[in-house]
Amino acid sequence: MDSIFSASEPSLGYLYQIRYGLMLIVAEGNEDAKLLLEKIDDISIETLDSLQVYQTKLHISSVANLTNASTDLWKTIRVWSEGIKTGTLNAETDLFNLITTAVASIDTIPYKLKQNTHKDRNIDEILLSLKEVAQSSTNATNKPAYESFLSLSEDQQKNLIKKLTIVDASIDINEAKKLILHEVRHYSLKKESLYERLEGWFMGEAILQLQGLRDFITAKEVSSKIMDIADTFKSDNLPNDFNVPITSDETQLGQYRNKIFVKQMELIGSGPKAINNSISDYHRSFSQKSRWLREGLIHPDDEISYNKKLKEDWERKFTIIADSVDTDDDEIQKNKGKAFFETHYITQYPQIHIKERFKEQYMVTGSCHMLSDKKEVGWHPDFNNKLTTE
């Protein structure tokens, strides 16, 4: 049973806000539109001609109803009233949107402010009702909101009512994802894979904005990112999801210390930094291919064919070193192996790629380390015997 102090709903509320923001900016037709999070409001969409602000309210534990004295309604009105008073918001020109999964009860103020009611609104009647609630309600939580709204001029109050839209019974966090998927469906048949990478990127950019490290995210930027991601799903390309090395992450490095491919590096006298680089390449290559396979971006036969090419390339090169070593001196063999590895897999590496346009070095060298972990390739001239005797 969930604790009454569970933070799942507030946490999901923040994620809902970010995902809803992504949905809005993906669907935005004006490429110059700017998305702002937690600056002017929960979400803001700004263009040269307009400013739309959004308050998002997600309810998951129970079905909430919007009534005349609902906290969701009045908290939102307070935010907007304060913004109007300080000049951050303009009641005459800006558009105000309350997005809530709650349901507006019939014949209430929220019901009269629902979307598609603007032409039929009786502004004076709604204003009178709001004032009556603000002046007579004993709800202590709402008191600051009541005071803030009542402190506006009558023109400001009326303009706010004219420009205010309540979207009740709104889509939830999962339905927001479905709408984003619908928007990106034309870019790629792999829309789920595209969506995951788009949201991952967007989340990172949203965090930067919330930290004040960037000002806004434009619709053009999001559109370009979608096209860039979609391009990686074309037949000659693949997405690069592991573009950051783990050479300094001892937690991840440690789990590979006893692997055969590491022993292969130790056989040729590689130092700690070189071994860390090898572990990083192995980890990234293994993780990336695993994700591609899960998502159906490559077929198991693609990996088999790729490994075959890498092994054939290794055999041609390794034959030279194996034939040139005619001594049992371990130091000489070690040095020969180290020189072979550094020459053919570090200074230069095989230009053999799993897809024509995916040319990341870690995939090539990491895949070779995966083969060396199976003892199908090696660097020391006598690696098979050396590994067998250990």
Q: Please give the average per-residue pLDDT across 258-277, as a whole number.
A: 96
pLDDT in tens, 3-17: 444 457 788 999 999
Contacts of residue 150, Cβ cutoff 8 Å, sequence gap at least 6:
131, 134, 135
pLDDT in tens, 99-112: 999 999 999 999 99
Q: Please give the average per-residue pLDDT across 166-188, as a whole number.
A: 95
pLDDT at position 156, please?
98
Does pLDDT of 193 surpass 80?
yes
Does pLDDT of 327 surpass 90?
no
pLDDT in tens, 121-171: 999 999 999 999 999 999 999 999 999 999 999 999 999 999 999 999 999
Task: Parse the chain into domains and list their residue ranges.
Answer: 8-181, 250-389
Instruction: Give CA–CA dist 44/53, Å, rounded.
Output: 4
Question: What crossing angle do the helices spanning 260-267 and 330-341 adopt, rounded to 10°?
Answer: 110
Strands across the sheet with 164-167, in order?
A: 164-167, 95-100, 51-57, 43-46, 34-37, 217-218
**Which pLDDT band holds residue 191 (cuts at 50, 70, 90)?**
very high
Instruction: Give CA–CA dist 210/39, Å, rounded.
Output: 8
What token pair was written down for 66? 């919007």
Contacts of residue 156, Cβ cutoff 8 Å, sequence gap at least 6:
84, 91
Q: Please give the average per-residue pLDDT across 62-85, as a whole number.
A: 91
The answer to whether the beta carbons of residues 47 and 34 sit under 8 Å apart is yes
pLDDT at position 1, please?
42
